[in-house]
Chain A
Amino acid sequence: MIEANALTKRYGATTAVTELTFTARSGRVTGFLGPNGAGKSTTMRLILGLDSPDAGTALVDGVPYRQLEDPLRTVGAMLDATWRHPGRSGRDHLRWLAATNGLPDKRVDEVLALVGLTSAAGRRAGQYSLGMLQRLGIACTLLGDPRVLLFDEPVNGLDPEGMAWIRQLLHTLAAEGRTVFVSSHLLPEMAQTAQDLVVIGRGRLIYQGTMDDFVAQTSEHGVRVRTPHTDELRAALTGQAEFTEDGGAFVVSGLDSDRIGQLAFDAGATLHELSPITGSLEQAYLDLTRDAVEFAMPAASPSEATR
């Protein structure tokens, strides 16, 4: 389990993370979602004791990371797959890391086999493709057979086959009862991977809960209603719900379709259409984080472009 309690971190004048509180449970894949620059990597560095928070605490299985004895046996973390010396072989990279926590070379060969790098283990890591580096980084996290795993954008730059492999691995690790905490700025990827969700923007918590609740809560964007009896329906809806009107069509928000149907029936309005509008998950995420994007895109405008 990972617990963040009111974590705050400032770098000079910019506040990267503000009073961030969340929990990642064991036996679950928890997606850590936010736009670029939202503070995901900072939060992970705080959890791992690489950076010191200005306020708040981060606990891993109830203990601050810096108090862990041989932490690789409790926590495996991949913050950046490119953290390796390009002149050192993949196997030697794992060997020195294993040695720091007293893990045997035998374990190095096991994790190499686990991530499918055995045949490339003797090659210098500078010759690895990005996909191979991701596998090497994941091998590092698995060395100590840890109960808690953190991955920062593990699918970045991977081909579909590599993505599917990582997704499967994360599910397997969580099914074994481990805590899996994985960040991404891409919701569709997370939707297929995570059971729980922590969404942040500008260093603040936006949402914490299950993926299913998130989908249910954010994907309904209103109900579309068409009627020839516009006056009756307008009267019935006024004061009951927010709505917009375009000819004979209404888009109603704040009421579900059952209630709208009942209101229309009571008012004597015949309905030609009554259909919930389900926006895409991606749209919901964009709506949720729109205000929290660090560098907002200016709205595209033809007149701007020609100026």
Chain B
Amino acid sequence: MITNLLRAERIKLFSTRAPWWCLALAFAAPLGFTALFFALAGPEIPPTVGNTQLASGNGRTVLVVLAILATASEFNWGTMRLTFQAVPGRVPALLAKVVVIGAVGAGLGLLVGFGSWGLATLVNPDADLALHSGAEWRSVLGQSLVFLLAAVAGVGVALLLRSVAFALTAVLVWTQVLEGVVVFIPGAGKHIYQWMPFHAADQFVGAGGFGGGALQLPPAPLGPWGYLGYFAAICVALFVAGVLVTARRDA
């Protein structure tokens, strides 16, 4: 039964244009910025493996947009009700959706992680960007996990808000504005910033070093794997809350 639902969600996702555009943008934007950084930046961005992932956040945000479009638009167009007519238990259909979108996210993360790193080595062949250590592998390979979890969070927010406009506004204001300005709260701001979910994701892949020095952040409260667990907990909690709400309320 679950294979039927996975197939249905796969057909849904790839039979409209928006996901394709989102995927193209989510792949091209981080690679483009990475190439610019490594070609043009001075000593403020040293050519390290971690810094090849500095622009991955752009792709991650576009992926969240994709997850929201694919989920919340179903409420807008009424196809979610058709889905629940076909799958009255609801939860299996929502699980199938998050598996499909999460898998797309994981694949995209792999492409963005290795693509950014590979492009950086091409643009800046003199730098030593070989993957020597576990930390360096985590920077590149870890994007897959981060993107998967970001997609799960996007589906969760869409299920909670049930509207493309609300969900996109919430997520874009959060990622593009709120996470950043928290730092400027006097006193506690820098400590709060260290608990922001996407900052946590950046810490896991070692891409947080960009602003870290300039902002003079206190020592990180968690290690990379701790940060991954923290980010995962938030993303999964959003999805579970979205499923619980959607399964119970009138469609």
B88 touches A71 (CB 8 A): yes
Which of B7, B17, B85, B93 neighbours the largest number of chain A CB atoms within 10 Å of its CB?
B85
Within 8 A of B (CB), among A122-144: 140
A102 contacts B1, C-beta separation under 8 Å:
yes
Partner of A50, one of B11, B89, B251: B251
Within 8 A of A (CB), among B92-136: 93
Could you tell me the distance between the alpha carbons of A202 and B78 in the complex, rounded to whole angstroms? 26
User: What is the bound-complex CA distance between A140 and B83, given in angstroms?
Assistant: 12
User: Which one of B4, B17, B82, B87 has the highest number of Cβ atoms from chain A below 10 Å of its Cβ?
Assistant: B82
B73: Cβ under 8 A from any A Cβ: yes
- Does A188 interact with chain B (Cβ within 8 Å)? no
Chain B residues, Cβ within 8 Å of A77: 85
User: How many A residues touch B, CB cutoff 8 Å?
Assistant: 32
Which residue among A52, A66, A85 has the maximum number of chain B CB atoms within 10 Å of its CB? A85
Known: A52-B250, A102-B4. A88 touches B16 (CB 8 A): yes
A85 touching B11 in the complex, CB below 8 Å, given contacts A51-B250, A71-B86? no
A97 touches B82 (CB 8 A): yes
Report B235 CB to chain A, min CB distance, Å. Answer: 26
- Does B176 interact with chain A (Cβ within 8 Å)? no
A-facing residues in B61-100 (Cβ within 8 Å): 73-74, 77-79, 81-89, 93
Q: How long is the Cα–Cα vector from A65 to B88 in the complex, in angstroms?
A: 8
In the complex, whether B15 has a CB less than 8 A from a CB of chain A is yes
Give the docked Cα–Cα distance between A161 and B218 (Å).
Answer: 74
User: Cα distance A77–B81 when bound, in Å?
Assistant: 11
Contacts A92-B11, A100-B93 given; indicate if A83 touches B16 (C-beta within 8 A).
no
Q: B175 to nearest A CB, angstroms?
A: 25
Partner of B16, one of A45, A52, A87, A99: A87
> B8 in the interface, Cβ–Cβ < 8 Å?
yes
Q: Contact between B86 and A97 (Cβ–Cβ < 8 Å)?
A: yes
Q: Which of B4, B78, B93 contacts A84 (CB 8 A)?
A: B78
Known: A77-B85, A83-B81, A100-B86. A89 touches B15 (CB 8 A): yes
Q: Is A207 an interface residue (CB 8 A)?
A: no
Point out the residues of chain B lying under 8 angstroms from A45, CB to CB: 250-251
**A71 and chain B: residue at smallest CB distance:** B88
Residues of B within 8 A of A99 (CB): 4-5, 7-8, 11
* A contacts, CB < 8 Å to B: 45, 48-52, 65-66, 68, 71-72, 77, 79-80, 82-89, 92-93, 95-97, 99-102, 140
Chain B interface (Cβ < 8 Å from any Cβ of A): 1, 4-5, 7-9, 11-12, 15-18, 73-74, 77-79, 81-89, 93, 250-251
Excluding A71-B86, A88-B16, 7 further A-B contacts by CB distance (< 8 Å) are A65-B88, A71-B88, A79-B81, A80-B81, A92-B11, A99-B5, A101-B86
The 10 A-B residue pairs with the shortest CB-CB distance, nearest first, are A83-B78, A92-B15, A99-B8, A100-B86, A51-B250, A96-B11, A87-B16, A66-B88, A50-B251, A100-B8
17 residue pairs of the A-B complex, CB under 8 angstroms, read A49-B88, A50-B251, A68-B88, A71-B88, A77-B85, A83-B77, A83-B79, A84-B79, A85-B16, A86-B77, A87-B17, A87-B18, A96-B8, A97-B8, A99-B5, A99-B7, A101-B4
